[in-house]
Amino acid sequence: MKAFTSAFKALSDLTRIRALRMILIAGGPVCVCELADALQLPQYQVSKHLAVLRQAGLVTDSRVGTWVYYSIPARASHFKSALFELVTLHVDGHLFDKDAARLKARLELREEGRCVLGPSRTGN
């Protein structure tokens, strides 16, 4: 029961839903600075939201040099897999489309599949 309440609490915030959706549609690990640019929020704010998602077991993190990448857990329960499908397929709208376009543009700046830039936006 705790996994259910933790997941729902984590997804009770629009920014966390946006961040999770970006990680889901990226198809692989996403650097926190790439997420900050896609969401047009300061990196420290995005990091706080990602920590909540990580504590709920909805994302995992890994450090590569100075960069921290977030991804979907390799082994997700049926419940979490259903949540991921819900967020990927049924959360849509203008805001989410703009986030996805910005993430796509930001991921194209990678070199050899890795983030090489820090955050370029401080939030709008």
Domains of the chain from N-terminus onward:
9-107 (1.10.10.10)
- Could you give the CA distance from residue 102 to residue 112 in angstroms, rounded to a whole number? 19
Sequential pLDDT tens for the chain (124 residues): 777 899 999 999 999 999 999 999 998 999 999 999 999 999 999 999 999 999 999 999 999 888 899 999 999 889 999 999 999 887 778 889 999 999 999 999 988 888 888 767 444 4
Tokens at 86, concatenated: 């819900």
- Global pTM? 0.90
Instruction: Report long-range pairs for 48-51 (Cβ below 8 Å, ≥24 apart).
Output: 49/13, 49/15, 49/16, 49/19, 50/19
SS3 of residue 98 by DSSP: helix
